[in-house]
Amino acid sequence: MNTDHLRALAAAVDEGTFDAAAAALRISGSAFSQRIKALEKDAGQVLLTRTVPVGTTSAGDRMLRLARQVAVLEDETRRSLGQGTGGRTVLSVAVNADSMATWFVEVLRQAATWDDAVLQLHLEDQEHTHELLRSGTVIAAITEDPAPVSGCLSMELGAMDYHAVAASALLDRYRREDGSVDFGAVPVQEFGTRDSLQRSRLAAWRAGQSGQQSGSGAGGMGPGGDGTGAAGPPLHQVPTVGGFNAAVAAGLGWGMIPTGQLPEGVLEGTHPDLVAIPELGQSRVTLHWQRWSAGTKALDRLTAAVQQAARNMA
């Protein structure tokens, strides 16, 4: 396949319109359209939706991944032959926010010494970073999914432990007469709509409550899922690591916080304001590094840096 045609495909997706993509490639609109038509004819399928912004079909997703791989490999090869423009290899990587705020910082320190590559980081929940890899948006990803995306290698990095944490004053507002807390009513925090850590722990608690009530003839699960028929608890979204942790400390809601971000004394029970919640327990998230199998020296070096930094994962 013609590499100019593949670059045109990637430009269309990146720029959003054919006109903008043509301008980015410094060719006429008609020449750009001809490249896309020639690529689609070669593939025998429609690759792009003629929408604004431009989208990809399922076949286009696979072709886009190839286009990005070819571009990276071609650029690095040209530089090694002294034919490049002097630019740096672009390493686009999907990283979950909690890794970015903790152990991945060591990768950044190493990358700061590289004079032939630049990082482009995409923040996404670890349950969904592999989607960016599959679409060709990134060449590597830190993901919860161990199954390698087609054309990629997968390697286990380690695990992060998350603890249910809340301000003690918040829990006191929802204590029953017997001292237990009604977690079916306590406000919850999520990082975003794709963050399922809190929901999974709350579901486990509700399942336990339902089991206890079933012996006494309790009815079915209500809208809140706790067997009481009550609506679910207030759900807040705080989409930054610092803001999320600060909101937990402020009593906005309870949330799952990784060990490496916990203030001193929380797990020991000596923190003046925050407490771990044994009723909700903890979650262990095993992370994997997935990367293109068609590697470059820059990608190999990045992989080594990630593996080294992951040894300090907490």
Give the pLDDT band of residue 81 (cuts 50, 70, 90). Answer: confident
d(CA 65, CA 134): 7
Same domain, 63 and 176: no
Same domain, 272 and 168: yes
Residue 279 lies in a domain: yes
What pLDDT was estimated at residue 84?
56
As a whole-number percent, the residues of the chain with pLDDT over 90 amount to: 70
What pLDDT was estimated at residue 204?
93
Give the pLDDT band of residue 26 (cuts 50, 70, 90). Answer: very high
Residue 187 lies in a domain: yes
Give the residue numbers spanning the domain of 270: 161-284
What pLDDT was estimated at residue 186?
97
Structural domains counted in the chain: 2
137-171 pLDDT, tens digit each: 889 999 999 999 988 999 999 999 999 999 999 99
What pLDDT was estimated at residue 226?
41
Residue 263 lies in a domain: yes
What pLDDT was estimated at residue 225?
41
* Ramachandran quadrant class, 117 (left: phi over 0; alpha: psi -120 to 50; beta: rest): beta
The 8-class DSSP code of residue 254 comes to B
Residue 20 lies in a domain: yes
**CATH at 265:** 3.40.190.10
244 φ, ψ to 5°? -60, -50
How does the average pLDDT of the chain come out, rounded? 89
| Residue 64 exposed, middle or buried by CB count within 10 Å (0-12, 13-18, 19+) | buried
Which of 68, 93, 118 is the endpoint of a domain?
68
Check: pTM over 0.85? Answer yes or no.
no
Residue 272 lies in a domain: yes
**CATH at 3:** 1.10.10.10
What pLDDT was estimated at residue 217?
45
**Does the pLDDT of residue 223 top 90, yes or no?**
no
Give the pLDDT band of residue 228 (cuts 50, 70, 90). Answer: very low
Residue 51 lies in a domain: yes
Residue 256 lies in a domain: yes
233-291 pLDDT, tens digit each: 999 999 999 999 999 999 999 999 999 999 999 999 999 999 999 999 999 999 999 99
Number of residues in the chain: 314
Residue 144 lies in a domain: no
What pLDDT was estimated at residue 213?
65
List the alpha helices (DSSP H) in the chain. Answer: 3-15, 18-25, 29-43, 58-80, 97-101, 105-111, 129-135, 168-172, 197-214, 241-250, 297-310
Which of 50, 68, 86 is the endpoint of a domain?
68
